[in-house]
Amino acid sequence: MTQNKQRDTWGTRLGIIMAVAGSAIGLGNFLRFPAKAVENGGGAFLIPYFVSLLVLGIPLMWIEWTLGRYGGGFGHGTAPGIFHSICQKNRFIKYFGVIGIFGPLVIFIYYTYIESWALGYSFFALFGKIQALGDQGAMKSFLTGYQGLENNQYFNGLGWAYLFFLVTFGLNMGVIYYGIKGGIEKLCKIAMPLLFLCGIVLLIRVITLGAPDPARPEWNVSNGFGFLWNPDFSKLTSAKVWLEAAGQILFTLSVGIGVILTYASYLKKGDDVVLSGLTAAATNEVAEVILGGSIIIPAAFIFFGPQDIQTIAAGGTFNLGYVTMPLVLNHLPWAEIFSFAWFFLLFLAGITSSVSLAQPAIAFLEDEFNISRQRSVLIFGIVSFMLCQPGIFFLGKGVVDELDFWGGTFFLVLFATIEAVLFSWVFGLEKAWDEIHHGADMRVPGIYKFIIKYVTPLFLFFILGMWLWQEWIPIIFMENVPLENQPYILATRAGLVVLMIVLVVLVNIAWRRKETCLPAGREKLVCD
Which residues of the chain carry a pLDDT beneath 50?
A: 1-3, 518-528
- DSSP states of 460-518: HHHHHHHHHHHTHHHHHTTTTS-GGGHHHHHHHHHHHHHHHHHHHHHHHHHHHHHHTEE
Give the count of beta carbons closer than 10 Å to the beta carbon of residue 480.
8
Distances, alpha carbon 318 to alpha carbons 28, 30, 152, 514, in Å: 10, 11, 19, 46
pLDDT digits (tens, 9 = 90+) for 210-235: 767 677 788 888 888 888 888 888 88
Per-residue pLDDT tens over the stretch 145-165: 999 999 999 999 999 999 999
DSSP line for 299-348: HHHHHHHHHHHHHHHHT-HHHIIIIIHHHHHHTSTTHHHHHHHHHHHHHH
Percent of the chain at pLDDT above 70?
Answer: 96
Q: Is the dihedral of CA 312, 341, 255, 392 positive or negative?
A: positive
Helix (H), strand (E) at residue 381: helix 373-393
Handedness of CA 165, 167, 173, 176 (dihedral sign): negative
pLDDT given for residue 40 in this prediction: 82
Alpha-carbon distances, residue 448 vs 56, 60, 426, 445, 453 (angstroms): 11, 11, 17, 6, 8
What does the pLDDT read at residue 472? Answer: 83
Q: Residue 450 and residue 470: Cα distance in Å, rounded?
A: 29
Fold of 2-467+495-527: Hydantoin permease (1.10.4160)
Q: According to the model, what pLDDT value does residue 517 have? A: 62
Distances (CA, A) of 362 to 136, 408, 508: 42, 19, 17
pLDDT for res 89: 84
Instruction: State the SS3 of 33-60.
Output: HHHHHHHCCEHHHHHHHHHHHHHHHHHH
Q: Where exactly are the structural domains of the chain?
A: 2-467+495-527
Question: What pLDDT score was predicted for residue 528?
Answer: 30
Q: Using alpha carbons, list the distances in angstroms from residue 440 to 157, 255, 275, 424.
A: 54, 21, 7, 19
